[in-house]
Amino acid sequence: MMPAGFALSRRMRAALRAAADSVMILRVRRLFACAALCLVPLACVALQTGQQPSSPAQAPAPQADQPRQPSTAQKVLPLIVLDPGHGGTDTGARGSGGTTEKDVVLQFARVARSEFERLGFRVVMTRSDDSDPSDDDRAAIANASANAIYLTIHAGSTGALGTARAYYGQFSSSPAASAGSSLVPWRHAQDSYSNASHRLADLIQVELDRQFSGSPASSTGAAVRDLRSVAAPAVAVEVSTMSVTDPTPLLAMAGPLAVALTRAVADFHQAPLAPAAAGKP
């Protein structure tokens, strides 16, 4: 039988060893816990930045070329100045049934105005009622704009019914400008635009021929007083004829005339056109 003190000593040593093992295990656990706490922020950063382990041979995927956006710049359309000839006490040509040129061309201008505006053009009429502005006052409306086209409309008493003609200004040579001055006399304002007016008149005549069978194939140069003072491309259009007892066929020319004018002006300025609302295609 062992002494009582020896047994007690053995029990104490065993207790001390168990306590030491517990402390060691606790320290190891704390060490792993600290390591885990240190790795968590790194894992979060990787998840937030979307970083994925990749093989060294893997290259980033090439990006597709972005298509070019089309340009939205558009050419500014000109101001269209429509001039219904005559007016007031100046009736112009008169039909046998009492129809007057001033009323017919006013109707033509109103229809043409609607068609131009439908296509996006700005339009001004030299008269919208039974008034009679002077030639210079009518021209001044176009001259006040830096980008205008002047179209004066008339109805003749000659020519075959249902035909139309375009005229450009053809005047005597301009006088030499005064020394030290570049001012152009009012009566010669159109001279600088003769080539542009001629080209516009040719385009209009082509369209008139398409709309009105029997019309001339080319425009005509003439000393048209209505055009002399206009400092812009300017054309006179004359439809036939006032020599009818019933104005219905003459008034029916309003729609095709509007189509011819808008198509020619759009071609002159290279502007897009919507399908025609009236007349031949």
Task: With beta carbons less than 8 A apart as the criterion, state whether 119 and 266 touch.
Answer: yes
The 8-class DSSP code of residue 189 comes to G
Half-sphere exposure (Cβ direction) of 9: Cα atoms closer than 13 Å: 5
Which residue carries 């937030």 as its tokens?
A: 48
Q: According to the model, what pLDDT value does residue 59 have?
A: 44
pLDDT for res 261:
98
The residue ranking higher by pLDDT, 68 or 176, is: 176
Give me the mean pLDDT over the 225-242 stretch: 97
What average pLDDT does the chain have? 79
Please name the helix (run of DSSP H) or strand (run of DSSP E) that holds residue 149, with its range, or none.
strand 148-156
Q: What angle do CA 165, 167, 169 make, to 5 degrees?
A: 175
Q: 173 or 279: which carries more pLDDT confidence?
A: 173
Higher pLDDT, 215 or 22: 215
Q: How far is CA 55 from CA 52, 58, 77, in A?
A: 10, 6, 61
Q: How confident is the model at residue 187 (pLDDT cuts 50, 70, 90)?
A: confident
Please give the Cα distance from 99 to 103 (Å, whole number). Answer: 7
Residues 6 or more apart whose Cβ sits within 8 Å of residue 244: 95, 96, 97, 99, 161, 250
Q: Which residues pair with 100 in a beta bridge?
A: 94
Using a pLDDT cut of 90, give the percent of the chain over it. Answer: 62
For residues 65 and 90, the model is more confident at 90
Name which residue leads in pLDDT, 182 or 72. 182
Q: Which of 148, 147, 119 is closest to 272 using CA atoms? A: 119
Largest CA distance in the chain: 161
In sequence order, the 6+-apart residues with CB closer than 8 A to the CB of 77 are: 120, 121, 122, 269, 271
Give me the residue label for tokens 């894992």.
Answer: 43
pLDDT bucket at 8, cuts 50 / 70 / 90: very low
Q: Is the pLDDT of residue 270 over 70?
A: yes
In this structure, CATH architecture of domain 79-172+185-268:
3-Layer(aba) Sandwich (3.40)
pLDDT of residue 191: 94
139 pLDDT more than 60: yes
Whether residue 89 is preceded by a cis peptide bond, meaning omega within 30 degrees of 0, is no
pTM of the entire predicted model: 0.70
Q: Is the separation of the CB atoms in 156 and 239 below 8 Å?
A: yes
Per domain, the residue ranges of the chain are 79-172+185-268
Greater model confidence, 269 or 71 = 269
pLDDT for the residue numbered 186 = 79
- Of residues 42 and 246, the one with the higher pLDDT is 246
Average pLDDT over every residue of 204-210: 98
Q: Give the C-alpha distances (Å, rounded to integers) separating 137 from 31, 59, 83.
A: 101, 75, 11
Residue 238 has pLDDT above 70, yes or no: yes
